[in-house]
Structure 1
Amino acid sequence: MKRRATMDGPQEQPAASYKIHVKMLKTVTLDVNCTDTVDQIKSKFSTIEGIDKSMQELFFAGIHLKNHGKVADYNIMPNSSVELYVTDRMQISVDIPSDVPSDGKTIRLNMKKSNKVVDVKAEIEQKEGIPINRQMLIYEGRHLENNHMLSQCGLTNDPALLLLVRPTDNLHVFVNVGDKRFVSLTVKCWHTVAIVKSMIDSLEGLPAWNQILMQPRSGVDVVLKDSKTLQAQGVKNNDILILQQKVQHMRNNQTVQVFIRLWEGKTVTMFLNLSDRVEEVMKKIEEKLLIKEGIYYLCYQGHHLSSFDTLQKHGVKRHSTITIRLRLRDPNPVKPRPGN
């Protein structure tokens, strides 16, 4: 390259612009300088053809061109032909937060769109030493499942993922539902309290909207927030949670918790008003359990409950057990809804 001498010493002449040809299914001509990097060439090609830089691999004379290398480094002359291979590679940023903000870090990974989420976790394990089973990857608020390919996750160009590190995935918690009864649940540490309430609703028939979940701490029962995870609120393996029902505090309507024992021996929980007539209770049972009308009757303490009397008149109290008895004329009733 020619240099022009000056009083201050040799000075480089402006680099001359010339053309090279990039081959794929068609040939695209680019204007480049000998000082351009391969990354700059990819950017120019991306502007024309819309193919992201991360998906481009360039070769010249059988040599793989590296992003930081310059045109002159590879002796690419005017009108040379550079070969382009389009790959499914993509770069991913992973944010790894810490309890101390200054200790957080971001790592970058080179992946393929055909890789699965678990492959990303394997790269993180190799770089950061965090076991795969302790990793949870979040993208735009969504949990990415291990068996999903990156191409299925709706990732944009250069996506940023959030890594949550969990101490353990499964938690066993015991919920005191009253009357010295405990329900054992296997949950995830990243489950919200709202999810746990839904599980209790499914198992016990206690409406989720009517539940208050509390955790004993230093002699005080602290109410857990629905929108927060168990891990965020300090719930640990084998912890005992306390369940209260909001309606138990509504004294004016005399709403109480009552257990309904089915003919199959299973028991479900309902909240009934003591001033309800038995026929009203039966309608609620039919709606909840999908039992056909007229094929059963209700018993309490061995006595047939009259349809037109109230529960209070029959002596039903809080935590009483009412039994469903089938009439002989229909031995095959509709089975209760699963989960109730």
Structure 2
Amino acid sequence: MKRRATMDPHQEQPAESYKIHVKMLKTVAIDVSCTDTVDHIKTKVSAIEGIDKCLQELFFSGIHLKNDDKLADYNIMTNSSVDLFVTDGMQISVKIPSVGKTINLNVRKSNKVADVKAEIEQKVGILMNNQILMYAGRQLEDNQLLSQCDLRNEQPLHVLVSPVDKLRIFVNVRGERTVSVNVKCWYTVADVKLMIETSEGLPASTHVLMRTQSGVEVVLAEGQTLQDQSVKNNDILVLQQKVQVFVKTWEGKSLTMSLPLSNTTEEVMKKIGDRLPMKEGMYYLCYRGHILSSGDTLEKHDVQNNSTIDIRLRNSRVVEPKPKNGKDAPRNII
């Protein structure tokens, strides 16, 4: 005797087909299911009406429908009406011979050529300043609108990679002012510092040039070029004064270090730890009898050039110098 097949109650049932109405200049009925995505609906509209998907924006009850969402997410039921708006979007093909790639970009005719370069930088990693965009044998300027370029779907853009040697950078001078400096990508950091010395009167030998990277200030290497250190057009660098100090240990050893005044106590301790085998947390720093507390900068304690910073073991006693009111201020470190 044949056994009767049973239906698993947890098995997903096929979605029931129904119709919705998409309003354009005319109304078109499309067969859909509640599990269809908005992108799938756009594909169907494209097949029926020949409107490219990237030009379509769908709305239901005033809500903008997102491509990856399903009709059920918006409670779009049978015989619902969805509004279609045709935008100024377009898809362009971009050939990059230098890396052997062709990519497609969804853009708007109201975008500028510079916007396309930014997309290429994000997708392929070629810096905007190194790109020359060519179309139909002519170079496109950054401030041109794509609508002015007479782009056609069958003809791709070409990207020529040509490093631009001219840069304009901004240098924050010791937190007091920001100056604009016109340089070339093959200038070294030492060259830039010399330019600032000439224009601002700040000796290159007593300053360092830094940039903020992942929230941390990094000193740029003197002998390397701006291009080697990925300095780009309109980047903001920081010029900070540095001092030469002598770091003296409790054993009488002495280190000579060149430090930016913006260095914190933690940064100085790390640099000392790179040169001396000392356990972290076992010592502290003292300058002219004052303890360099966590988070303090050398500038806060007015650390002078060719002065001495002492390394003290914890549990040692430090007596602060007399303040201006004449009272002693003993301080124990535990």
The answer, yes or no, to whether TM exceeds 0.5 is: no
TM-score (norm 1): 0.41
TM-score (norm 2): 0.41
Structure of greater Rg: 1
